[in-house]
Structures are given as C-alpha cells and as structure tokens.
Amino acid sequence: MISLFDQLKRACASEWAAYTNHAFVRGLGDGTLPQAAFRDYLRQDYLFLIQFARAYGLAVFKSETIEEARRGSDGLAAILDETRLHVAYCQNWGIAEADLEACAEAPQTLAYTRFVLDRGMAGDLLDLDVALAPCVIGYAEIGAQLARENGDRLAQNPYRSWIEAYAGADYTKAAAAHIEKLDRTLAARGGDGRMASLIETFRKATILEAQFWETGLKASN
C-alpha cells in the first residue's frame, strides 16, 4: 500500500521538485554555493529550529493517546538536542552563539514556521505532521540525493558534513519514522474526505520550504 507521504509527494510533484532541486540545494551538492549564503542559512536555520521545537511541543498538546504524546516528546527532545549541535556546527563556520541569538527572523522563516504552527493549532495532529513532513522527510531525500550524485567529489566539498549528516543512517531513520507516523495518524484520524486538505497543506509547506532556501541566496547577492 502506498504511504501517505508518497501520495502527498505525487500530488505535489512539481512543488517537490522545485524544493529538492532548488539552486541552493544544487550549490550544496557541487560545492559552488557561496559560503556567505550558507552562513546566512545557518543563522536562519537556528531560528527555524526554535519554532519547530514549539511545533513538537504542540504535538504533545494535540496528542490523544499517551503513545502519541511520547512520540511528540521524543521529537521535542531531539529538536532541542539538535539546537545544541547546530550551535557547535555554526561555531565551525565562524558564527558565535551570540550572533545566532541576535539574528532576526527573515520573512521566509516567519512564513514557513508560523504556517506549520497555524496548521497545528487550527487542525489536529495529522495536519501538524503533514505540515512538518517537507522538512523532516525532505532533508533526508535531499541528503541522499546529493550524496548519491556527487560521490567521491564530496571529499573537497565544504558542505560535505552537512550532506553526510542528512544522508546518514540516523537522520534516514528519523525520516522513515515520520513516514510511518503519518500512516498511523491517518489510520486513526483520517478518511477520504481529508485528502484534499492534507494535499493543500503539504503543497503550501513544500513551497514555503523552497522559499526558505532563498534567504541565503539573497543574502549573498
């Protein structure tokens, strides 16, 4: 049986392609992305993670079973841990934690993260999980794609560690867990009448995720 994620991705094929093959992504893959663009992305991604931590906190609130609450809590803990790792990673790129804290959210960051939170507040756990999916699952697909396409050329790529992190076993497992979670939640709370709304949520989140790549590109111009 086809997963909910695959149904959503097929329904939004052009938007998904624009997101996963964006110029920012291609630049990561071949190492030509201006480093100023990547540094700006790192700053915005820190602010992005803070809002996604709130989204996982909302997932706990929206849970109707203790198992759902545990999964939401695990997701929140993972995001909070990732913020610590992100701070350390940014330091390797010459960005101090104080600089991250002082950075203002770009319009694209605000648009995407608040859209996710709005869908979670207005809808149920399924709506929230679908809104999160382009980020959670998309990064795994992008990491795997870039690692596969660039192979040995990654050795000299300044973004090698980023690519390998999202292509790695740990993140791949996390993305697969989100795919399974979508199917479980759909089985518990879904129905044929919900698909149009879920597809629209996924479509908008994918478009906003693609626009998030633009923040770094605009900063480097």
Q: Which amino acid is at 77?
A: A
pLDDT at 220: 58
Delineate the domains of the chain, giving CATH numbers in brackets. 4-24+34-216 (1.20.910.10)
pLDDT in tens, 132-152: 999 999 999 999 999 999 988
Q: What is the residue type of 207? A: I
The model's confidence at residue 7, banded by pLDDT at 50, 70 and 90, is: very high
Q: Which of 15, 68, 141, 209 is catalytic?
A: 209
pLDDT digits (tens, 9 = 90+) for 26-40: 999 999 999 999 999
**Residue 88 has what pLDDT?**
96
Are 178 and 136 in contact, with CB atoms under 8 Å apart? yes
pLDDT of residue 219: 65
209 labelled catalytic: yes
- In tens, the pLDDT along 88-122 reads 999 999 999 999 999 999 999 999 999 999 999 99
In the chain, helix, strand, coil percent, each to 5? 85, 0, 15
Ramachandran sector of residue 31 (left: φ over 0; alpha: ψ -120 to 50; beta: rest): left
pLDDT value of residue 89? 96
Average pLDDT, the chain: 95
Per-residue pLDDT at 152:
85
Cα–Cα distance, 171 to 193 (Å, whole number): 32
Contact criterion met (CB below 8 Å) for 208 and 111: yes
* Strand spans (E) along the chain: none
pTM of the full structure: 0.94
Catalytic residue chosen out of the listed positions 12, 15, 90, 135:
135
pLDDT confidence of residue 221: 59
